[in-house]
């Protein structure tokens, strides 16, 4: 979609300015400066703005409009560290254009997403300067890349009674064939560590005739947790799962890409039992899973060492479905270990903050968004009930009651968190055009109606 060239040039300049601020939340660098720049952009675009301190970086809020419908836009201005810098083709904090792409740290994640929406907003306002007939709250945080440690608390204190209809999530995807993907949900996360110690120090392995071995114990404990089909064997694990709505099921009946493509791209070739070309997409969307992230202990050096190690550690993560609470799952895991004789294995919860969510894809705004994405990108949009990955979306979905709507320009070769992060200029333009159309369509279709019933 063509947008006016001066508007595209201004958006590219905004993006270059933001990329030039190395707002790396891991190091706490440049966050205040970047928050100021984001606030200035929102203010310039007609928003009432504020900043609030976070644990690490400030929150920026922009508000405008009034009406029975509330749209929340969520973005973040912090980025991942740029290291190793020498592997980048061009310096990471200078936006550079090559072969129809814009490169730089944050070009996609999430500064490019933010800027494309803001440019779309400007385009919309140039054609519709009248008061906005819905409420728009734009929240831009600076701690996303370190797990949003203060987001939930901030939303609760700054917006204690706010209800919202739609939450336009910080990103959306574009697949390798140029089809926009609307994400309607995310999985939750539980990350834990299992520690086992059986002696004061490593022992001569001859004593394995009488003493148990911590790595054996951990191996047995871990193997009791899952079967070869990936089904998790902890009692009660599946009890609280919210079953997919019929429409969400329907959306996954045919996968939008063949399993072979994913296998070719990743080199992954050992499928779980029961996963095949017809079922894999449903699994990615709806099934929880348990990963062994790392198994450590004992001797791993060259050659042999006949030793009986005294300790070992295993790190696990669960991707959880909506309805499963990570804290509850950790309790069930503890009970499982105790039950089968592993009471001595210490369970440490590393992350139990992110709950899975899945919104109703039949929400009117989602249908409008899908049609407009098709118009902008020239390809039918894919509505995906849930990402296979996770995002801290539950404060927006549970507390605000908003329907999640993840549409954006993060293409599948965007190299997020890696070197040569990039967006495709044509898709940047498409997203600006889409954003403008979407703001306008919401004004026309939902701005004057009473809000849709909130959903989970
Ligand atoms: Zn990121």
Q: Is the pLDDT score of 451 beyond 80?
A: no
Cα 194 to ligand 1 centre (Å): 28
Cα 144 to ligand 1 centre (Å): 7
Q: Is the pLDDT score of 318 beyond 80?
A: yes
Q: How far apart (Å, rounded) are the C-alpha atoms in residues 47 and 38?
A: 11
Contact status, residue 53 vs residue 64, Cβ threshold 8 Å: no
With respect to CATH, is domain 5-186+356-445 assigned 3.20.20.150?
no
Cα 200 to ligand 1 centre (Å): 42
Q: Quick one: tokens of 275?
A: 């996963």
Cα 183 to ligand 1 centre (Å): 16
pLDDT cut 70: percent of the chain above it: 98
Average pLDDT over residues 113-129: 97
Average pLDDT over residues 380-386: 98
Cα 416 to ligand 1 centre (Å): 6
Q: Is the pLDDT score of 247 beyond 60?
A: yes
Cα 254 to ligand 1 centre (Å): 29
For tokens 């369970």, name the residue: 347
Cα 394 to ligand 1 centre (Å): 17
Residue-level pLDDT at 265: 87
The predicted-structure confidence for 75-113, as pLDDT tens digits, reads as follows: 999 999 999 999 999 999 999 999 999 999 999 999 999
Count of other CB atoms within 10 angstroms of residue 87: 11
For tokens 């709806």, name the residue: 286
SS3 318: strand
Cα 86 to ligand 1 centre (Å): 21
Cα 426 to ligand 1 centre (Å): 22
Cα 370 to ligand 1 centre (Å): 24
Cα 391 to ligand 1 centre (Å): 10
Cα 347 to ligand 1 centre (Å): 28
Average pLDDT over residues 284-310: 97
Cα 80 to ligand 1 centre (Å): 7
CATH architecture of 188-241+288-354: 2-Layer Sandwich (3.30)
When pLDDT is cut at 50, 70 and 90, the band that residue 454 belongs to is very low
Cα 105 to ligand 1 centre (Å): 10
Cα 241 to ligand 1 centre (Å): 27
Cα 78 to ligand 1 centre (Å): 8
Cα 77 to ligand 1 centre (Å): 10
Q: Is the pLDDT score of 455 beyond 60?
A: no
Cα 28 to ligand 1 centre (Å): 15
Q: How far apart (Å, rounded) are the C-alpha atoms in residues 275 and 285?
A: 13
Average pLDDT over residues 230-247: 97
Cα 363 to ligand 1 centre (Å): 27
Cα 79 to ligand 1 centre (Å): 7
**Helix ranges (DSSP H) in 128-231:** 151-158, 214-223
Residue-level pLDDT at 378: 97
Domain boundaries, the chain: 5-186+356-445, 188-241+288-354
Cα 110 to ligand 1 centre (Å): 7
Average pLDDT over residues 167-192: 97
Cα 281 to ligand 1 centre (Å): 23
Q: What are residue 180's DSSP bridge partners?
A: 174
Cα 431 to ligand 1 centre (Å): 19
Average pLDDT over residues 267-278: 95
Q: Is the pLDDT score of 225 beyond 70?
A: yes
Alpha carbon separation from 374 to 185, 366, 379, 422, 427 (Å, rounded): 20, 12, 5, 22, 12
Residue-level pLDDT at 1: 67
Cα 106 to ligand 1 centre (Å): 8
CB-count exposure of residue 60 (10 Å: 0-12, 13-18, 19+): buried
Asked if residue 110 has a cis previous peptide bond (ω within 30° of 0), the answer is yes
Length of the chain: 456
Please, what is the end-to-end C-alpha distance for the chain in angstroms?
A: 33
Q: How far apart (Å, rounded) are the C-alpha atoms in residues 409 and 357?
A: 22
Q: Is the pLDDT score of 57 beyond 90?
A: yes
Residue-level pLDDT at 453: 45
Neighbouring residues of the ion ligand 1, judged by CB less than 5 Å: 109
Q: How far apart (Å, rounded) are the C-alpha atoms in residues 126 and 120?
A: 10
Cα 145 to ligand 1 centre (Å): 5
Pairs from 86-94 (Cβ < 8 Å, separation ≥ 24): 87/419, 88/419, 88/420, 89/419, 89/420, 92/419, 92/421, 93/19, 93/20, 93/21, 93/22, 94/16, 94/19, 94/20
When pLDDT is cut at 50, 70 and 90, the band that residue 420 belongs to is very high
* 5-186+356-445 against 188-241+288-354: fold identical: no
């Amino acid at each position: 979609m063509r947008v006016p060239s001066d508007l595209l040039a201004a958006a590219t300049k905004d993006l270059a300015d933001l990329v030039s601020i190395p707002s790396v939340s891991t190091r706490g660098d440049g966050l205040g400066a970047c928050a100021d720049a984001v606030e200035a952009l929102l203010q310039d675009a007609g928003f009432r703005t504020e900043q609030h301190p976070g644990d690490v970086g400030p929150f920026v809020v922009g508000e405008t409009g009034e009406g029975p419908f509330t749209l929340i836009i969520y973005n973040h201005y912090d980025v991942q560290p740029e290291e190793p810098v020498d592997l980048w083709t061009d310096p990471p904090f200078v936006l550079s254009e090559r072969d129809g792409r814009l490169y730089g740290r944050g070009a996609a994640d999430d500064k490019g997403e933010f800027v494309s929406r803001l440019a779309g907003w400007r385009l919309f306002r140039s054609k519709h300067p009248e008061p906005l007939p819905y409420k728009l709250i734009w929240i831009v945080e600076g701690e996303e890349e370190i797990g949003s440690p203060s987001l939930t608390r901030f939303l609760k204190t700054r917006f204690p009674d706010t209800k919202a209809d739609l939450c336009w999530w910080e990103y959306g995807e574009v697949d390798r064939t140029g089809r926009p993907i609307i994400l309607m949900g995310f999985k939750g996360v539980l990350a834990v560590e299992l520690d086992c110690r059986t002696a004061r120090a490593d022992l001569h392995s001859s004593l394995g005739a009488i003493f148990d071995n911590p790595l054996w114990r951990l191996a047995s404990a871990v193997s009791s947790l899952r079967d070869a089909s990936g089904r998790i064997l902890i009692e009660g694990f599946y009890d609280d799962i919210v079953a997919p709505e019929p429409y969400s099921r329907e959306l996954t009946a045919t996968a939008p890409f063949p399993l072979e493509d994913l296998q070719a791209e990743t080199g992954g070739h050992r499928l779980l039992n029961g996963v095949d070309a017809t079922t894999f997409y449903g699994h990615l969307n709806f099934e929880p899973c348990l990963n062994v992230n790392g198994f450590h202990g004992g001797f791993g050096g060259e050659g042999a060492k006949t030793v009986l190690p005294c300790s070992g550690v295993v790190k696990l993560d669960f991707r959880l479905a909506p309805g499963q609470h990570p804290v509850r799952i950790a309790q069930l895991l503890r009970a499982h270990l105790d039950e089968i004789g592993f009471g001595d294995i210490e369970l440490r919860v590393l992350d139990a903050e992110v709950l899975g969510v899945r919104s109703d894809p039949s929400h009117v705004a989602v249908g409008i968004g899908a049609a407009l994405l098709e118009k902008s990108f020239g390809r039918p949009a894919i509505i995906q009930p849930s990402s296979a990955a996770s995002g801290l979306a539950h404060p927006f979905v549970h507390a605000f009651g908003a329907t999640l709507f993840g549409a954006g320009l993060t293409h599948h070769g965007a190299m997020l968190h890696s070197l040569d992060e990039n967006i495709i200029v044509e898709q940047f333009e498409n997203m600006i055009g889409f954003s403008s159309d979407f703001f306008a369509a919401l004004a026309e279709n939902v701005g004057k109606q009473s809000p849709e019933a909130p959903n989970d």
